[in-house]
Amino acid sequence: MKHLICNVADIPATGSIVMPFFGREVHVYRAGDRVRVAANTCLHFGGPLECKEANYDMATGLKTEGPAPANARLMFLSTRVEEGGLYYVWGD
């Protein structure tokens, strides 16, 4: 099964867009040639992910500095690009 998150053309070259996702939000961004989708959840407080005091490796999701726990990692969603759309996929 799959669920459309956004059109690939809407993803900026730098930074991210925040998209609704089943009553929550996700950050959608580019990491090199790859598109990543991470839950909009702060690993320190559990609120929205603002990255004001923390930095993450955008390819792996690992925290590089900040108040989150030492081995904190962003939670990525399983996605697939098809026909210009970015889809969340499950059960495939």
How many structural domains is the chain composed of? 1
Q: Tokens at residue 84, please?
A: 């210009």
* Assigned domain for 85 exists: no
Q: Domain range holding 67?
A: 16-77
Tell me the pLDDT band of 91, cut-offs 50, 70 and 90: confident
* CATH number of residue 54's parent domain: 2.102.10.10
* Assigned domain for 82 exists: no
Sequence-ordered list of residues with C-beta below 8 angstroms from that of 85, at least 6 positions apart, any chain: 4, 5, 6, 7, 8
Q: If you ran DSSP here, which 8-state letter would residue 23 be given? A: T
Q: If you ran DSSP here, which 8-state letter would residue 29 be given? A: E
Tens-place pLDDT, residues 21-59: 999 999 999 998 899 999 998 887 777 887 667 788 888
Supply the DSSP string of 45-85, one letter for each residue: TSS----SS-EE-TTT-BEEESSS-TT-B--BPPEEEETTE
